[in-house]
Chain A
Amino acid sequence: MNPAHHFRLQAIFREIFDQPALALTPELSPATLPEWDSVAMVQLVLATEQAFGVRFTMDEVAGLKSAGDFLTLLAAKAP
């Protein structure tokens, strides 16, 4: 796991979910975080794209099921 990616992604999750103490783990998902609904998902994607200067395809977005998926995708797109 890229620590810089983890740190920046955690900041995004904290902002979107308004949880300053949220600890980002790869297992974090809509199943473990009830606030992670469809609107929050879009907010996460847009904020991540903006913060990392990347653009996700529709197929890539469809494959994002957890925080770990975000980190894996970022490792490939923003190494």
Chain B
Amino acid sequence: MSAPTPIPLLALHHTGLLVKDVAQAAAHYIEVLGYRIESEPIDDPGQTARVQFLRLPGATHWLELVAPLGPESKLANALTKGGGLHHLCYEVADIVAATAHFRAAGCMVVSEPVAAAAFPGRRIAWLMDRQRLLFELLEAGPGPLGLSTLRP
């Protein structure tokens, strides 16, 4: 389906990996694959998730470890299917326009832009494309975990 507006410029921000235990998974990726810790574990009640960001030396995007925040988490069911690769996240300059663009292009909006604990002052939105790939949009902006800190 063609979209009525130009395709927003997307920059890969992170790959989301659904895990049972963030600390345990982080230890694995640090010790076995050489990742480095880029954030403390962050609890986001709005997303019912605990997340932590890692990054390979020199990489221009992050790995996000995502675990359910409690048994009632929206992620608990997905984890029962085994976890693993969960979503891609793209940073965009205008999250409202980008969300509208992808909706018009046939993607389904899972949740409209809302504030996220991991990115103070920035909003995230969740969408799924026709290939049933879950992807996240993250509003570009200053502060930690911004792509501008990696790509001057």
> Footprint of B on A, CB under 8 Å?
18, 34-35, 37-40, 42-43, 45-47, 50, 58, 61
Contacts and interface: CB of A to CB of B under 8 A. Distances in A.
Interface in B71-122: 74, 77-78, 81, 103, 108, 110-111
A39 B74 contact: yes
Size category, B interface: 10 to 19
17 contacts: A18-B81, A35-B77, A37-B74, A38-B74, A38-B126, A39-B74, A39-B78, A39-B110, A39-B128, A40-B77, A42-B108, A43-B128, A43-B132, A46-B130, A50-B130, A58-B103, A61-B108
Contacts of B77: 34-35, 37, 40
B132 A45 contact: no
A46 B107 CA distance: 9
Contact of A42 (B74, B78, B110): B110
Contacts of B134: 39
**Most chain-A CB neighbours within 10 Å: which of B77, B78, B81?**
B77
A55 to B, nearest CB: 8
A45 B108 contact: yes
A58 B102 CA distance: 13
Contacts of B132: 43, 46-47
Contacts of B81: 18
Contacts of A50: 130
A35 B78 CA distance: 9
B75 to A, nearest CB: 9
A45 to B, nearest CB: 6
Contacts of B108: 42, 45-46, 61
Nearest to A45: B108
A58 B78 CA distance: 25
B77 to A, nearest CB: 4
A46 B130 CA distance: 7
Contacts of A42: 108, 110, 128
Top-8 shortest CB links A-B: A42-B108, A35-B77, A42-B128, A38-B110, A37-B74, A42-B110, A46-B132, A18-B81
